[in-house]
Amino acid sequence: MIQGIGTDIVEVSRIEKIIEKWGPRFIERVYTPGEIEYCSKKAFPAMHFAARFAVKESILKSLGIGLGKGLRLRDIEVLNNQEGSPFLQSNDAVKEVFRRRGISGVHISITHTKKYAQAVVILEK
Ligand SMILES: CC(C)(COP(=O)(O)OP(=O)(O)OC[C@H]1O[C@@H](n2cnc3c(N)ncnc32)[C@H](O)[C@@H]1OP(=O)(O)O)[C@@H](O)C(=O)NCCC(=O)NCCS
C-alpha cells in the first residue's frame, strides 16, 4: 500500500552557488561520505548534489515533516546500485521514523538536466 509520495525540484545553479560560497561546510553538513564520493567524480557534480538535495526534501515531504522535525538532511543517504538506480540507505534515525510509521519500502526516482534536478519518492507501507 502507498503510504506517501513526495517530489521536489532544485535549480542546479542554486546548489552550485552554495557550494562555491560554503564549500565543504555545506557539503559535509548535508551529504554523507558515500554521496560526496559519488557526486564528486561526476563531470558536473552540482547536478548530482542538486538531485540528492531534491531526494532529501522529497523524503521529508513524503513523510509530511519539515526540517528540524526529527530528521536532518544528512540522515537521508541516496546511493546507487550497480545498474545506477538510486536507493535510500537508511541510518538509525531514518529507520526509527519508518518503524514508527510502519513504512516497509521506499522508491526513489531522479532526473536532471544542467538547469534542474528533480526527484520523486514513494513510501510503501
Ligand atoms: C536510467 C536512464 C534511462 C537514465 O536516463 P537519462 O535520461 O540518461 O538521465 P536522467 O537525468 O533522466 O536520470 C539520471 C538518474 O537516473 C537514475 N538512474 C540511473 N540508472 C538507473 C537505472 N538503471 N534505473 C533507475 N534509475 C536509474 C540515477 O539516479 C541518475 O541520477 P544520479 O546519477 O544523479 O543518481 C539511463 O541511465 C539508462 O538507460 N540506464 C540503464 C542502465 C545502464 O545503462 N546502466 C549503466 C551503468 S552500469
pLDDT in tens, 66-103: 777 779 999 999 999 999 999 999 999 999 999 999 99
Model confidence band, residue 45 (pLDDT cutoffs 50, 70, 90): very high
**What domains does the chain contain, in order, with CATH numbers?**
2-124 (3.90.470.20)
pLDDT value at 51 more than 80:
yes
CB 24 near ligand 1, within 6 Å: no
Q: How much is the pTM?
A: 0.93
Mean pLDDT of the chain: 95
Least Cα distance to 49 among 59, 66, 64, 36 occurs for: 36
Percent of the chain residues topping a pLDDT of 70: 98
Cell of 42: 561526476
CB 85 near ligand 1, within 6 Å: yes
CB 4 near ligand 1, within 6 Å: no
- By 3-state DSSP, what share of the chain in percent is helix, strand and coil, each rounded to 5? 45, 30, 25
The pLDDT assigned to 66 comes to 75
Residue 90 neighbours by CB distance under 10 Å: 17
| Nearest alpha carbon, ligand 1 atom 7 | 111
Longest CA–CA separation in the chain, Å: 43
pLDDT value at 20 more than 80:
yes
| Nearest alpha carbon, ligand 1 atom 48 | 83
Report the distance separating Cα 61 and Cα 58, nearest Å: 5
Q: Find the 110 Cα to ligand 1 centroid distance in Å.
A: 8
Cell of 69: 522535525
Model confidence band, residue 65 (pLDDT cutoffs 50, 70, 90): confident
> Which residues fall within 8 angstroms of residue 83, CB to CB, at 6 or more apart?
none
CB 83 near ligand 1, within 6 Å: yes
The pLDDT assigned to 85 comes to 98
Model confidence band, residue 3 (pLDDT cutoffs 50, 70, 90): very high
Cell of 52: 540528492
Residue 32 to residues 3, 64, 114, 125: CA-CA distances in angstroms? 26, 23, 23, 26
